[in-house]
C-alpha cells in the first residue's frame, strides 16, 4: 500500500478534506470519499468524514491500498506502439476499440491488449484501468500515453492537470466554419435529461476549454484541428455540437444516422506531446489518419475539386 502525508496550510484551511485530497493527489473525488469511508484517511490519527473542514496545521494521512489481484484477461491483440521504455508506452489506438473494461465489456479492450504485451502497468487506477492515464472514446482513434509504474503515472497525471500535455485532434464537422480559428469555453456536465450524455451546462459542471482552427473547407463540411486545454468526457464532441457544427459520424451528439459511411465520429488524436517522467526529455508523437477516415477525406477532396470550373 502507499502512504501519503499532508500538512494543511493557512491557504487551504476551511476546505473540505475530500476536495483537498482530490486536488492534491491523482485520485478522483469519489475515490477519495470511498477511502475516507473505509478509514484510510485520518487527521491527527482520527478517522473523519468527507465533509470535514480542514484547519491550519492539520496533519492528513492518506493510505491507498494495493490494487486487488487483476482479473482482466490478457489477450494477444496487436498494438501499434509508437514508443516504449521502462516507464511509458505510447500507443496508437484504432477506431472501435474501448480503452478499458467496464460492465458488459471485459474483452477486446486496449487494457486486455496491454496486459498481454507487458505485466508491469501502474496500479493507481485500480484493476480495471491499469496504466491508463487518460482516455479516448471507443470510436476516436489516435495516440494515448500509458504508465508502466506508479511514479510515471503520477507524473503524467500531474502534467495533464497542469495543462502542459500537447493534445491535438483532427475532426471533420458539418457545416462551414467562417472563422479561421476560435476558442470554445464552457462548463460541461451530465445532460439534464439523458444521463448517458454530456452537455454544456450553466451549473454543476467542470470548466472545459477547446481551441480550434480550420484546416480545409470541403463543400458542406470543414476539416479542423483542435487543441485541448482540459480533458472532459466527450469534450470535443459536445463543444462542436454546441456551436452548431457536430462531428461527422457522431450518432450521439450529431445526426442520428450514419453519414459518409461512418458509424462513429470522425475524430483522430494525431499529436501527443509530454515530458518524459524520468528523463525530462520533451517527447512529441504524430500519427496519421487511419485508413477509413483518410478515405472519407480523399473522396471529399476529389468531389470538391470536381466542382471547380
Residues classed as catalytic:
137
How would you class 204 by CB atoms within 10 Å of its CB: exposed for 0-12, middle for 13-18, buried for 19 or more? exposed
| Locus of grid cell 521504455 | 85
Which of 268, 255, 301, 281 lies closest to 83 in space, CA to CA?
A: 281
Write phi, then psi, for 235 (nearest 5 degrees): -55, -50
Edge-to-edge strand ranges of the sheet holding 46-47: 2-7, 59-64, 41-43, 46-47
Amino acid at each position: 500500500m502507499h502512504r501519503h502525508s499532508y500538512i494543511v496550510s493557512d491557504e487551504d484551511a476551511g476546505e473540505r478534506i475530500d476536495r483537498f485530497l482530490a486536488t492534491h493527489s491523482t485520485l478522483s473525488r469519489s475515490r477519495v470519499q470511498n477511502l475516507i469511508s473505509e478509514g484510510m484517511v485520518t487527521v491527527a490519527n482520527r478517522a473523519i468524514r468527507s465533509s470535514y473542514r480542514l484547519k491550519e496545521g492539520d496533519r492528513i494521512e492518506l493510505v491507498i491500498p494495493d490494487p486487488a489481484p487483476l482479473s482482466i484477461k490478457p489477450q494477444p491483440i496487436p498494438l501499434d506502439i509508437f514508443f516504449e521504455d521502462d516507464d511509458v508506452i505510447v500507443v496508437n489506438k484504432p477506431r472501435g476499440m474501448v480503452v478499458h473494461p467496464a460492465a458488459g465489456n471485459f474483452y477486446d479492450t486496449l487494457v486486455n491488449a496491454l496486459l498481454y504485451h507487458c505485466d508491469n502497468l501502474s496500479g493507481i487506477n485500480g484493476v480495471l484501468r491499469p496504466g491508463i492515464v487518460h482516455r479516448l472514446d471507443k470510436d476516436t482513434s489516435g495516440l494515448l500515453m500509458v504508465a508502466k509504474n506508479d511514479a510515471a503515472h503520477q507524473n503524467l497525471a500531474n502534467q495533464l492537470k497542469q495543462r502542459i500535455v500537447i493534445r491535438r485532434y483532427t475532426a471533420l464537422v458539418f457545416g462551414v466554419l467562417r472563422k479561421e480559428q476560435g476558442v470554445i469555453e464552457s462548463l460541461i456536465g451530465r445532460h439534464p435529461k439523458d444521463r448517458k450524455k454530456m452537455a454544456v451546462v450553466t451549473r454543476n459542471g467542470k470548466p472545459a476549454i477547446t481551441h480550434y482552427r480550420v484546416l480545409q473547407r470541403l463543400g458542406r463540411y470543414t476539416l479542423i484541428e483542435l487543441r485541448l486545454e482540459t480533458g472532459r468526457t466527450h469534450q470535443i464532441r459536445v463543444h462542436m455540437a454546441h456551436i452548431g457544427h457536430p462531428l461527422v459520424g457522431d450518432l450521439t451528439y450529431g445526426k442520428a444516422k450514419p453519414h459518409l459511411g461512418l458509424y462513429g465520429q470522425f475524430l483522430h488524436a494525431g499529436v501527443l506531446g509530454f515530458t518524459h517522467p524520468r528523463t525530462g526529455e520533451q517527447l512529441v508523437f504524430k500519427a496519421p489518419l487511419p485508413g477509413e477516415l483518410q478515405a472519407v477525406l480523399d473522396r471529399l477532396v476529389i468531389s470538391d475539386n470536381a466542382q471547380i470550373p
